[in-house]
Structure 1
């Protein structure tokens, strides 16, 4: 059942729209930014994380102004607050005072540039996986893992994001990596209500089928002309340019 959450409602509700790791490199902190949609926020209060179905104390709430931080004692609908995140939150998470709300419309957009990431030091694969997990949770990059093989493919909307991601991996996680550009120009998440049609599609396109960081199926395309061909060949498959974060 859908309803509109009004800002003047008494009960607290909010959603996570951004996560940022290593804002303070000396402490390796991680902050989840929430927008309060209704009710009253108070430092140290407990809120219900709907996705996990558990209570969580919202500790060390912070507001930012440029490089300055200040602790927040209270906040109201419309305010943005940074919450210390021990690795619990994901973008799109809903917080409430008990109601099982889910705010819709937090999309992930399909990337247009892709590269393969390779370790310069093979023994640091664990650190690389941690870096990619955290950066993908932030939304800085999207990570795709092919159906077969162990390589990791990075996707971004703007090509300059590759430089930012490589810099952060090397300086925040101390992992040297090489990026190799790949000849893809688009990605689409694929869905179907017909399981047999999806099975046939995946089998035929297995070389370009990947799983994203949320284990959703996606197909990598050299260009959008290929999409027209796929629509005609596999009419029971839906191709989406966005994937909603839940």
Structure 2
């Protein structure tokens, strides 16, 4: 592959509901660009993007995958993402490094459940977005209804650039209101024939063309003046205006495709090359301290790890977005997240599972490396002396949880290591080795997410397990006030142990007055990490117990509150008043009390 400058590298992420056709569209883009010589299908398990055995079993994308094409003057990196909510973490990570999002809609179903969550995240990031209406060859397709729904949910910035001339089973023609041309495809798709727009469509096409020009002009004062002077815009002005509008999140252009028949992907890639921003065109990425990191290959090196995958025979593969400067094989970089040094022994560009070695990767580009020792997702690698850490991916909170129950008790330690590796690959998997419940709890995004974790453990680590319900984390408390005393005496030759403590133990509530039947000399209040409070009073009079032993008594109380008498659960909301006791000049010590 030839070298590309930063401004000619475009990173796009395909997002959308499961079944909208993202993987098939990626396959069309690769085929049209000449990156592959035959289009695969999801049904045949031979697409570039879905190469994992589990994806083949389920006929769905489960993991994001990275591909690339060369299209005219641009290198376009394509990240295909899963459409099911359970794997939303893959989408969040891909959005972090993409310059433009492409929302793929199934025009036969309209805007489907879950799509809004993806859009809200893109909107939060102010990510440039394109919309692709796919499945226009389906008998139930309804382009107008799909666009109406998109405008209702995503706002009036949704703007038609293309619309189908003959949607449905006979679909083969797209009217492009940017170029004012009709593109007619053969039965095998591919490169279309350019034809004049039919007279019957001219009124609609002109109206949409003018709407597009007005929207573009609204986002640039200079273009607005030209539009008022001439009533239209020249092609170079249109390109400039589209780039500005898309970059500023002020225009969401709509395109038409039939990924099944390879129709429309070439024009989509042409638009990405022509009008979509590179990382250099966008606002600089931020560090955790708010510092701007411009995407400039001449600046010091800063790179971000957005994904980690465990590959058999290779170890961990780290996916990297170069935010600034350049990286090259043999380079030493500092992991500013943990202050360790890593060497980039190899660099790859990826085509699904296929790897191609490269020597150098510039700012704005995406690549992968292997065998980083202490670097994981969300870590930053930087040139020595660059004390910066890029802002992190904020992954969604877990929605479901389950406890692990292994079939063979001897596999428990092995299971812990397996879960650790899985959580490193997928930060939306949170592992809690819960000491209170004496269970290992796996927190995930959904039942399917848990099923994937189980599949990995059973197939990759050869451990059999079941998911069970986590035990209920009960709490205990005392119901009435009691007085208690205890003498500890131990003699085994030499110095012994002696301590005697008298205390009042009672329920505690907020605003509770101090105890009245003892003399209060000191009060400490503690927020318990499992909820509730412990209030501890020093009510010793006459020096019956030296105050230096009170911390040991408090420590003993705290230990007992971790293991209640009823169920062994944590105890909360208790007040303890130590009011009397005895000690021995020789045998009393902290251990005894």
Q: TM over 0.5, yes or no?
A: yes
Query: Does the 8 A contact of 1:113 with 1:156 survive in 2?
Result: yes
Q: 1:155 to 1:198 in 2, by over 3 A?
A: farther
Q: 1:53 to 1:76 in 2, by over 3 A?
A: same
Structure 2 unmatched ranges of 5 or more: 1-288, 473-523, 534-593
What RMSD, in angstroms, separates the aligned Cα atoms of the two structures? 2.4
| Residue in 1 that maps onto 2:463 | 175
| Residue in 1 that maps onto 2:146 | none
Q: 1:157 to 1:183 in 2, by over 3 A?
A: farther
Q: Structure 1, residues 142-177: CA drift from partner, whole Å, max 9, x if none?
A: 212324243111111132111111111111111111
| Residue in 1 that maps onto 2:450 | 162
Higher helix share: 2
Runs of 4+ in 1 over 2 A off after TM superposition: 181-184, 196-205
| Residue in 2 that maps onto 1:11 | 300
Higher strand share: 1
Quote how far apart the aligned CAs of 1:16 are: 1.0
Larger Rg computed on CA atoms? 2
| Residue in 2 that maps onto 1:121 | 408
Quote how far apart the aligned CAs of 1:6 are: 0.4
CA distance in 2, matches of 1:58, 1:86: 8
Quote how far apart the aligned CAs of 1:118 are: 1.1
Moved more, 130-139 or 141-150: 141-150
Map 1:1-246 to 2 at 5 A: 1-8=289-296, 9-21=298-310, 23-24=311-312, 27=313, 29-98=315-384, 99-139=386-426, 141-182=429-470, 199-200=527-528, 202-204=530-532
Query: Does the 8 A contact of 2:330 with 2:346 survive in 1?
Result: yes
Secondary structure at the residue paired with 2:387?
A: coil
Quote how far apart the aligned CAs of 1:126 are: 2.2
CA distance in 2, matches of 1:6, 1:44: 24
CA distance in 2, matches of 1:198, 1:44: 53
Quote how far apart the aligned CAs of 1:11 are: 0.8
Query: Does the 8 A contact of 2:343 with 2:372 survive in 1?
Result: no
Greater RCO (CA < 8 Å, at least 6 residues apart): 1
Q: 1:60 to 1:126 in 2, by over 3 A?
A: farther
Secondary structure at the residue paired with 1:115?
A: strand
Query: Does the 8 A contact of 2:437 with 2:471 survive in 1?
Result: no
Query: Does the 8 A contact of 1:111 with 1:156 survive in 2?
Result: yes
Aligned residues: 191
Q: 1:183 to 1:107 in 2, by over 3 A?
A: farther
TM-score of the pair, normalised by structure 2: 0.30
